[in-house]
């Protein structure tokens, strides 16, 4: 599972009344860096919904102009396969073996609400953190079974166009964020997500759709406000550790590597596609790039 997808899973906590019913991208999460020639940061979301994958004209122009395209990890077949393999258990147990019966039942019921043909048994080989990270993607992928998520599409378009491609992280680095948590901690994260999905349903609303609406609005600057309300875990220490590992440590890594890539590619335009949640706030990638000597020319 993509780590930025796991991050964006937690961004649906903004009060639902503030959501807007958009059917297209109102404002792209696009930031032009003060480099010559220009380079860009572009906020993505790991979903295949065509409202998301249909690029705003500003983002499309930046992408077309770029000589080099970097996603969080290289989205080539080898890395895609590795991500899938790493999400599977290797301890001789199944998801049914490790989850408490009450959690298993809630998960099974939630999946059947997404689609009656689904069920927790389909996830038996998966690690708990991977189930947590995949819940919203499951729903969107069922609706658009032949489509691929936005970041995957960007990478493939770049390959097809003959652009240089690459990743800012290795798959192992993304996976390590969650592998460091105990099974009990992973289960606490999954329970927090199931609680929030049920709260949305009681209001007659849908978590995935709310997440898409947030992305279509392009309002990435509200990220730190959203972080304050995240239902990631009930334990405050675990919550703090999740925030640090999922967001802030990776922001530092992204900023350093983006600066390195720009210096390594003089005279070229670069397009960096990372999860939209990394773009907003005082400790965001754009803010940290300033410490690397790279300013922001424009952004929303």
- pLDDT at position 226, please? 62
Q: What is the pLDDT along the chain (300 residues), one digit of tens a residue?
A: 444 444 444 443 444 434 457 888 999 999 999 999 999 999 999 999 999 999 999 999 999 999 999 999 999 999 989 999 999 999 999 999 999 999 999 999 999 988 888 899 999 999 999 999 888 888 888 889 999 999 999 999 999 999 999 999 999 998 988 898 999 999 998 998 898 888 888 988 888 888 888 889 888 887 666 666 555 566 778 888 888 898 899 999 999 999 999 999 999 999 999 999 899 988 999 999 999 999 998 766
Q: SS3 letters for the chain? A: CCHHHHHHHHHHHCCHHHCCCCCCCCCCCEEEECCCCCEEEEEECCCCCHHHHCCCHHHHHHHHHCCEEEECCCCCHHHHHHHHHHCECCCCCCHHHHCCHHHHHHHHHHHHHHCCCCCHHHHCCECHHHHHHHHHHHHHHHHCCCCCCHHHHHHHHHHHCCCEEEECCCHHHHHHHHHCCCHHHHHHHHHHHHHHHHHHHHCCCCHHHHHHHHHHHCCHHHHHHHHHCCCCCCCHHHHHHHHHHHHHHHHHHHHHHHHHHHHHCCCCCEEEEEEHHHCCCCCCHHHHHHHCCCCEEECC
Is the whole model's pTM more than 0.85, yes or no? yes
Domain ranges in the chain? 3-298
- pLDDT at position 143, please? 87
- pLDDT at position 199, please? 87
- pLDDT at position 5, please? 43
- pLDDT at position 230, please? 54
């Amino acid at each position: 599972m993509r780590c930025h997808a796991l991050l964006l899973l937690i961004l649906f906590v903004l009060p639902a009344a503030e959501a807007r019913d958009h059917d297209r991208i109102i404002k792209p999460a696009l930031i032009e860096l003060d480099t010559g020639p220009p380079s860009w940061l572009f906020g993505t979301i790991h979903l295949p919904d065509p409202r998301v994958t249909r690029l705003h004209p500003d983002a499309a122009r930046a992408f077309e102009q770029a000589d080099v395209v970097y996603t969080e990890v290289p989205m080539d077949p080898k890395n895609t396969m590795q991500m899938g393999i790493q999400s599977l258990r290797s301890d001789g147990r199944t998801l049914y073996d490790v989850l408490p019966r009450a959690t298993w039942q809630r998960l099974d019921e939630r999946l059947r609400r997404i689609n009656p043909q689904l069920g927790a048994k389909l996830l038996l080989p998966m690690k708990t953190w991977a189930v947590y990270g995949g819940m919203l993607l499951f729903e969107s992928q069922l609706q658009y079974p032949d489509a691929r998520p936005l970041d995957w599409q960007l990478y493939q378009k770049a390959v097809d166009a003959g652009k240089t491609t690459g990743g800012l992280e290795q798959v192992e680095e993304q996976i390590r964020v969650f592998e460091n948590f105990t099974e009990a901690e992973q289960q606490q994260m999954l329970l927090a997500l199931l609680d929030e999905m049920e709260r949305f349903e009681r209001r007659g609303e849908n978590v995935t759709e709310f997440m898409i609406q947030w992305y279509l609005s392009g309002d990435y600057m509200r990220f730190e406000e959203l972080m304050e309300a995240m239902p990631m875990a009930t334990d405050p220490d675990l919550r703090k550790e999740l925030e640090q590992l999922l967001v802030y440590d990776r922001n530092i890594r992204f900023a350093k590597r983006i600066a390195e890539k720009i210096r390594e590619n003089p005279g070229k335009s670069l397009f960096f596609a990372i999860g939209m949640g990394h773009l907003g706030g005082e400790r965001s990638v754009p803010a940290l790039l300033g410490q690397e000597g790279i300013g922001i020319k424009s952004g929303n």
